[in-house]
C-alpha cells in the first residue's frame, strides 16, 4: 500500500505522521524533554542484583537505573566485551543472574524500551547496530533475513550475498528495505557499521561507567532509514533547514530516494493541509465512531488497555446476528488501526459484541488478525472466546501516545487524563499560525491558566515572543485561575471571542 510521510517541525516539538490512503495510521512525537533512547549504547555499572526477580539494575547515568532481566542477557562469551568473566565461567550456561552479574561490575548495554512512568529504561546485553540494509550484531555469528520478505528465492539470494560479506564474529540481519538490493549496496553498509562498532569499543575501553557510548540517530532520521522505500510516495517537510539536513542524509544512505523529499511552503499549517490535525484530535478521544453508527470505547491504564465494541445507532437491515457480525467486522479493522495509531502496547483486552455462531466468531477473529498484519510491532493473539473476548499483547517499546500527550486529571484523582501543558502550549502555537494564514487580524488576547501561561511566557525567548516575531502579531497574555489546565480562550478587539474560529477541524 502506498504511503506518505508528513513531518512538522517546531522549536519545542517534532511530529511525524504516516498516511495510508490519506488516513493517519502512525504518529510519532518527539520533544526535547523526552528524546528517544532506544538504540543507545551505554557503559553501565551494576548497582543491584535481585535473584528473586532474576533481574539487575544498571546505572547508565540517567535519572532512573535501567532494568536488565536475565532473558535479555547474552551468553557469557558474548557479554564478555569488557573481560569481566573469568575463563572458567565462560563454559557454563547462564541459568541464574547472580552467577553472571555482581554489584559494581561494568558491562555494555543497549536500550530496548524507553523509560515509562516510574520505570527506567529496559536494556539488553545483546548489542546491535542498524544500518540502511542490515543490522550488525557484535559477538554473534548468525545470518537472518527479515520475516517481511516472504519470497523464498529472494531470501535465499539475500542470504547468499551477506554470507559472502559477513565479518568474523559478527551476525547480520537483512532488513525489509533490502529487497532487490545488490552486493555493492550491502558492502558499504556493513563497512560503515563495523567501523562504528570499532569506535564504540575504543570509547568503552577509555571511559568510566556510567557513560553514553553511542547515541542512535533521532526519530526523523531513523524513520528515513527504516521506512523509506518504493512504497513511500512523498515525504513532505515544513522546515527548510530540516529539509536540507534530510536531503544530505539521504545522499549518503539512499540517493535514489531524494526525489521523494518535498518542501512544504504553504501558509496553512502542514498538518491542517493534510487533514492530520483533526485525526489526532479524534485519536485522543475515548469513544471512536465507526461505520453506520457503531462505536468502540478505549480505556487505557498503565496495567492494561480495554476496548469495548457497541452497536450504538447501528441497527442493520436484516436479522440481529447479521447486524452484530457486521458491527464486529467493522470494529475489528478500526481497533487494529487504533492500536497502531495510538501505539498501544502491553496487555490488551477486546470485548466484541457477543456472537452465538462459532463461524461468526472465527470470521471476526480472522478479520482482526489480518488487519493487525499491517502493524510493524510484534503481537501475540489468543482466539476469541465464547463471550466475545480477545486477549492480546503488543510489543511496547515506548509509552503510548496518550501518555506522551496527556497527564492525569488533577480533578478526578487520576482516573482520567487531560492534555498536558506542553501539548496545550503546542496547540496554542498552532492556533495562532492557523489564524495568521486565514485572517488579517493582528491583535489578540490569550486567556489561560497560570500554569499554562508560565510555560508560554517563561524566559527571554518565550514561546509567545517567538510567535509575535515570527507571525508579526501582538499577543496579550492574561492569567485566569478559573480556566482549566487543558483549555484556553482567545479574544480580538471589543472582547470578541474567536477561540473556535481557528481550531483544527
Alpha helix (H) ranges present in 72-137? Answer: 76-79, 87-90, 97-100
Name beta bridge partners: 346. Answer: 394
Buried b / exposed e over 348-367, threshold 16 CB at 10 Å, is bebbbbebeeeebbebbbeb
The pLDDT score that the predictor gives to residue 401 is: 87
Residue 100 burial (C-beta neighbours within 10 Å; 0-12, 13-18, 19+)? buried
Q: What's the CA gap between 463 and 37, in Å, rounded? A: 26
Please report, for residues 104, 316, 480, 490, 495, the alpha-carbon distance to residue 475 in angstroms, rounded to integers and kept in the order given.
Answer: 55, 52, 16, 10, 14
Q: Please tell me whether residue 39 adopts helix, strand or coil conformation.
A: coil
C-alpha cell at 502: 481557528
> pLDDT band at 280, cuts 50/70/90?
very high
pLDDT digits (tens, 9 = 90+) for 139-187: 988 999 998 898 999 999 999 999 999 999 999 999 999 999 999 999 9
Q: What's the CA gap between 133 and 456, in Å, rounded? A: 43
Q: What share of the chain is helix, strand, coil (3-state, %, to 5)?
A: 40, 30, 35
Q: Which CATH class is domain 3-36+218-277?
A: alpha beta
C-alpha cell at 224: 528515513
Nearest to 43, CA basis, from 135, 132, 105: 105
The pLDDT score that the predictor gives to residue 414 is: 56
The pLDDT score that the predictor gives to residue 486 is: 93
Mean pLDDT of 454-479: 91
Q: What is the mean pLDDT of the chain?
A: 89
For domain 420-502, give the CATH number.
Answer: 3.40.1260.20
Nearest to 428, CA basis, from 480, 481, 468: 468
Q: Report the percent of the chain where pLDDT is more than 90.
A: 70
The pLDDT score that the predictor gives to residue 505 is: 66
Mean pLDDT of 343-352: 94
The pLDDT score that the predictor gives to residue 385 is: 86
Which residues have a Cβ under 8 Å from the Cβ of 423 and sit 6 or more positions away? 405, 406
pLDDT at 446 over 80: yes
Scanning the structure block, which residue is given the C-alpha cell 528495505? 177
The pLDDT score that the predictor gives to residue 316 is: 59
pLDDT digits (tens, 9 = 90+) for 467-477: 999 999 999 99
Q: What's the CA gap between 86 and 100, in Å, rounded? A: 11
- Report cis status (omega within 30 of 0) of the bond before 210: yes
Tell me, rounded to whole angstroms, the distance of Cα 248 from its chain centroid: 24
Q: Check if CATH label 1.10.3470 holds for domain 286-394.
A: no
pLDDT digits (tens, 9 = 90+) for 393-429: 998 877 788 888 888 887 766 567 889 999 999 999 9
If one counts every other C-beta atom within 10 angstroms of the C-beta of residue 445, the result is 16
DSSP code at position 313:
T
The pLDDT score that the predictor gives to residue 116 is: 83
Q: What's the CA gap between 417 and 337, in Å, rounded? A: 22
pLDDT at 248 over 60: yes
Q: 12-21 long-range contacts, Cβ below 8 Å, gap at least 24?
A: 12/422, 12/425, 12/426, 12/429, 12/463, 13/422, 13/426, 14/219, 14/220, 15/271, 16/219, 16/220, 16/223, 17/271, 17/274, 17/276, 18/227, 19/274, 19/276, 20/374
Domain boundaries, the chain: 3-36+218-277, 41-182+207-213, 286-394, 420-502
Which residues have a Cβ under 8 Å from the Cβ of 458 and sit 6 or more positions away? none
The pLDDT score that the predictor gives to residue 33 is: 77
pLDDT at 304 over 50: yes
Q: Which CATH class is domain 41-182+207-213?
A: mainly beta
The Cα angle at residue 418 between residues 414 and 421, in degrees rounded to 5: 115
pLDDT digits (tens, 9 = 90+) for 307-329: 999 987 766 556 788 888 999 99
Q: Give this prediction's pTM.
A: 0.85
The pLDDT score that the predictor gives to residue 178 is: 93
Q: What's the CA gap between 403 and 376, in Å, rounded? A: 21
pLDDT digits (tens, 9 = 90+) for 58-104: 999 999 999 999 999 975 444 433 333 333 333 334 578 999 999 99
Nearest to 47, CA basis, from 38, 56, 55: 56
Residue 206 burial (C-beta neighbours within 10 Å; 0-12, 13-18, 19+)? exposed
pLDDT at 302 over 80: no
pLDDT digits (tens, 9 = 90+) for 198-215: 999 999 999 999 999 999
Tell me the backbone φ, ψ of residue 463, rounded to 5 degrees.
Answer: -60, -40
pLDDT at 197 over 60: yes
Q: What's the CA gap between 62 and 37, in Å, rounded? A: 11
pLDDT at 303 over 90: no
Q: Are 225 and 218 in contact (CB under 8 A)?
A: no
Q: What's the CA gap between 196 and 212, in Å, rounded? A: 14
Q: What's the CA gap between 365 and 331, in Å, rounded? A: 11
User: 192-196, 412-416, 428-432: lowest mean pLDDT where?
Assistant: 412-416
Amino acid at each position: 500500500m502506498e504511503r506518505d510521510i508528513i513531518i512538522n517541525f517546531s522549536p519545542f516539538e517534532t511530529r511525524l505522521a504516516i498516511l495510508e490512503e490519506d488516513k493517519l495510521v502512525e504518529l510519532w512525537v518527539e520533544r526535547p524533554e523526552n528524546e528517544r533512547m532506544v538504540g543507545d549504547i551505554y557503559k553501565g555499572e551494576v548497582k543491584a542484583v535481585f535473584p528473586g526477580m532474576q533481574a539487575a539494575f544498571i546505572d547508565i547515568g540517567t535519572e532512573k537505573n535501567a532494568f536488565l532481566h536475565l532473558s535479555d542477557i547474552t551468553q557469557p562469551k558474548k557479554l564478555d566485551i569488557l573481560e569481566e568473566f573469568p575463563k572458567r565461567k565462560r563454559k557454563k550456561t547462564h541459568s541464574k543472574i547472580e552467577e553472571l552479574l555482581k554489584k559494581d561490575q561494568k558491562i555494555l548495554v543497549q536500550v530496548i524500551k524507553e523509560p515509562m512512568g516510574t520505570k527506567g529504561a529496559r536494556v539488553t546485553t545483546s548489542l546491535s547496530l542498524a544500518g540502511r540494509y542490515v543490522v550488525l550484531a557484535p559477538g554473534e555469528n548468525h545470518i537472518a533475513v527479515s520475516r517481511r520478505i516472504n519470497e523464498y528465492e529472494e531470501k535465499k539470494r539475500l542470504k547468499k550475498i551477506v554470507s559472502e560479506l559477513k565479518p568474523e564474529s559478527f551476525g547480520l540481519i537483512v532488513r525489509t528495505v533490502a529487497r532487490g538490493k545488490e552486493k555493492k549496496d550491502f558492502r558499504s553498509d556493513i563497512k560503515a557499521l563495523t567501523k562504528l562498532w570499532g569506535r564504540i569499543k575504543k570509547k568503552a575501553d577509555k571511559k568510566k561507567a556510567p557513560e553514553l557510548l553511542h547515541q542512535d540517530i533521532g526519530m526523523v532520521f531513523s524513520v528515513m532509514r527504516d521506512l523509506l522505500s518504493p512504497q513511500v510516495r512523498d515525504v513532505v517537510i515544513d522546515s527548510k533547514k530540516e529539509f536540507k539536513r534530510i536531503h544530505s542524509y539521504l545522499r549518503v544512505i539512499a540517493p535514489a530516494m531524494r526525489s521523494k523529499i518535498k518542501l512544504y511552503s504553504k501558509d496553512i499549517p502542514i498538518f491542517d493541509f493534510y487533514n492530520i490535525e483533526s485525526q489526532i484530535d479524534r485519536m485522543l478521544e475515548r469513544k471512536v465512531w465507526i461505520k453506520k453508527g457503531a462505536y468502540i470505547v478505549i480505556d487505557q491504564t498503565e496495567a492494561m488497555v480495554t476496548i469495548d465494541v457497541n452497536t450504538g445507532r447501528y441497527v442493520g437491515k436484516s436479522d440481529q446476528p447479521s447486524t452484530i457480525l457486521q458491527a464486529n467486522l467493522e470494529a475489528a479493522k478500526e481497533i487494529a488501526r487504533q492500536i497502531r495509531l495510538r501505539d498501544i502496547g502491553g496487555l490488551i483486552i477486546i470485548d466484541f459484541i457477543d456472537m452465538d455462531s462459532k463461524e461468526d466468531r472465527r470470521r471476526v477473529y480472522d478479520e482482526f488478525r489480518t488487519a493487525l498484519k499491517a502493524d510493524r510491532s510484534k503481537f501475540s493473539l489468543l482466539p476469541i472466546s465464547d463471550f466475545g473476548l480477545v486477549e492480546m499483547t503488543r510489543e511496547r517499546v515506548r509509552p503510548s501516545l496518550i501518555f506522551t500527550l496527556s497527564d492525569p486529571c488533577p480533578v478526578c484523582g487520576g482516573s482520567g487524563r487531560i492534555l498536558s501543558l506542553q501539548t496545550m502550549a503546542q496547540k496554542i502555537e498552532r492556533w495562532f499560525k492557523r489564524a495568521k494564514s486565514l485572517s488579517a487580524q493582528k491583535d489578540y488576547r490569550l486567556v489561560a491558566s497560570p500554569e499554562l501561561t508560565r510555560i508560554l511566557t517563561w524566559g527571554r525567548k518565550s514561546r509567545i515572543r517567538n510567535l509575535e516575531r515570527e507571525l508579526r502579531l501582538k499577543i496579550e497574555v492574561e492569567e485566569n485561575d478559573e480556566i482549566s489546565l487543558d483549555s484556553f480562550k482567545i479574544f480580538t478587539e471589543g472582547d470578541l471571542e474567536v477561540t473556535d474560529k481557528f481550531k483544527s477541524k
